[in-house]
Amino acid sequence: MRGGSVAVVGGSIAGSAFAGAAARLGAERVVVLERSPGHLEDRGVGLCTHNDRFDELVRAGHLDADTRRHRLTVRRWVARGAAGEGDGPDGCGRLLWAQPFPFHSHHWGVLWQALRERMPEQVEFRLGATVTAVGNEPRGGEPDGGGSEGPQAEPDGTRAEAGGAWVETDGGRETYDLVIGADGYRSVVREAVCPQAEPEYAGYVCWRGSYDAALLAELPGGAAPWPEEQCITACYPGGQVVIYRIPGVAPGRTQVNWVFYAPTPAWLRLDGPTSIPAGSLTDPQVDELRRLAERYLPPYWAGLVTLTPRERTFLQPVYDLAAPARTAGRLLIGGDAATVVRPHNTSGAVKAIQDAHAFELAGREAGSWAALLAAYDRERTAAGRELVELGRTLGRAQVTAAPDWSGMDEPAMTAWWHHQFTGGGGFGGHALGRTD
């Protein structure tokens, strides 16, 4: 499938991957419409990719092999020591399990920049472009009042389909051959593709934060108790905190990144899908987080969390979403617009880029927009649904129906972990192209 015009709503990781894919397919015009007016590379959230999934994306041409990332090799599951046992000489807690962890961690902005740098030059990237509505134009062969005789043959024998889709911004309405929704869990495009699909609240939240690793010097023992290759999961009744280092925005710098799963705060209003961005939490709200950390976490990890500046702390309710369809007419959705997977599975970025990869493969083989859209929908809808179900399973096992951590040791942890994957794998995302 070559030629035509494509609009991508949303310019984050998913949107950048889709824009690059559309340009490589030979679209004559690719426009990315990103509502944020600022620099997306400043977003400081951390994420992880499984080594095998990252290597697949490099081989497929989506990322460079030298994309800056931080190597992780082991995940240490810890909990507070029982009364009278203490939390060890460094205050790091009782070790439950040292789990092999073949992952790399990333700074969201650094990974996004790597995708942008691989994007063909003809892609037009519009910041501050808020899309308020999308829809389909009349389909090929339907009366449109203009005397159209329907689709005509292109020189290569494919059909030049009439129709298209439109996007509306504060700058007016524009029409494209295809509109891709990569606009996140509150997607405008998803509302047009499958309006019945809405993110479902999972019943708990994740507080998140990051900061320059140099601040670790303020902790007792500094950074020494925490080797750089370790991912830490500190467990407590009702939640856990996952902690790992990520690359800083500037080469040579390192940041601390953490995700703290916790019960719903009494003050949080959940009238619809929402989040509280960095810098918007009040001092009393951040104090609540600090009390949680100090009450439940081993002292070293509680100190690490409470070091986080308020302006680098934010809150995200945890949601599930698996859209029952990914296409409607000339509209297509991908990334978090199509599936929202709980962060326990560490598959969000991989899932988004794999969506774009499936779109690109479908476009190489399809002779029409209809064939491309059908192939993409067939490939990714089922895969997304499976990841969402796995995320639910992990959330129940690790948060809402977690075991009594005080009775867990390495054999019990190993059996508990493998039970979560009965009937299939998928931790960190499935292999590229896997559909069963």
> Is residue 164, in this structure, part of any structural domain at all?
yes
Q: What is the per-residue pLDDT across 161-170, written as a single tens digit (0 to 9) for each? A: 567 999 999 8
Assess whether 88 and 223 both reside in one domain: yes
Assess whether 314 and 339 both reside in one domain: no
Q: What is the per-residue pLDDT across 368-425, written as a single tens digit (0 to 9) for each? A: 999 999 999 999 999 999 999 999 999 999 999 999 999 999 999 999 999 998 766 7
CATH code of the domain covering residue 151: 3.50.50.60
Q: What is the per-residue pLDDT across 196-225, written as a single tens digit (0 to 9) for each? A: 999 999 999 999 999 999 999 999 999 999
Q: What is the per-residue pLDDT across 243-268, written as a single tens digit (0 to 9) for each? A: 999 999 999 999 999 999 999 999 99
- Assign 157 a pLDDT band (cuts: 50, 70, 90): very low
Residue of 3 and 377 predicted with greater confidence = 377
**Three-state SS string across 49-96, please?**
EEHHHHHHHHHCCCCCCCCCCEEEEEEEEEECCCCCCCCCCCCCCEEE
> Is residue 418, in this structure, part of any structural domain at all?
no
Assess whether 268 and 145 both reside in one domain: no
Assess whether 129 and 179 both reside in one domain: yes
Domain limits for position 281: 70-106+201-318
CATH code of the domain covering residue 277: 3.30.9.60
- In terms of Cβ atoms closer than 10 Å to its own Cβ (0-12, 13-18, 19+), residue 333 is buried
* Domain's final residue, options 275, 291, 318: 318
> Is residue 180, in this structure, part of any structural domain at all?
yes
Distance from the first to the final alpha carbon of the chain: 26
Assess whether 247 and 345 both reside in one domain: no
> Is residue 408, in this structure, part of any structural domain at all?
no
Assess whether 145 and 55 both reside in one domain: yes
| pLDDT for position 424 | 66
Which amino acid, one-letter code, is at 130? T
Assess whether 102 and 118 both reside in one domain: no
Assess whether 228 and 298 both reside in one domain: yes
Assess whether 212 and 237 both reside in one domain: yes
- Assign 144 a pLDDT band (cuts: 50, 70, 90): very low
Q: What is the per-residue pLDDT across 355-377, written as a single tens digit (0 to 9) for each? A: 999 999 999 999 999 999 999 99
* Domain's final residue, options 301, 318, 335: 318
Assess whether 17 and 130 both reside in one domain: yes
Average confidence score pLDDT of the chain: 91
> Is residue 185, in this structure, part of any structural domain at all?
yes
> Is residue 431, in this structure, part of any structural domain at all?
no
Strands 29-34 and 124-127: parallel
Q: What are phi and psi of 236, to 5 degrees?
A: -150, 165
Q: What is the per-residue pLDDT across 85-118, written as a single tens digit (0 to 9) for each? A: 889 989 999 999 999 999 999 999 999 999 999 9
Domain count, the chain: 2
| pLDDT for position 419 | 94
Stretch 270-286: mean pLDDT, rounded? 93
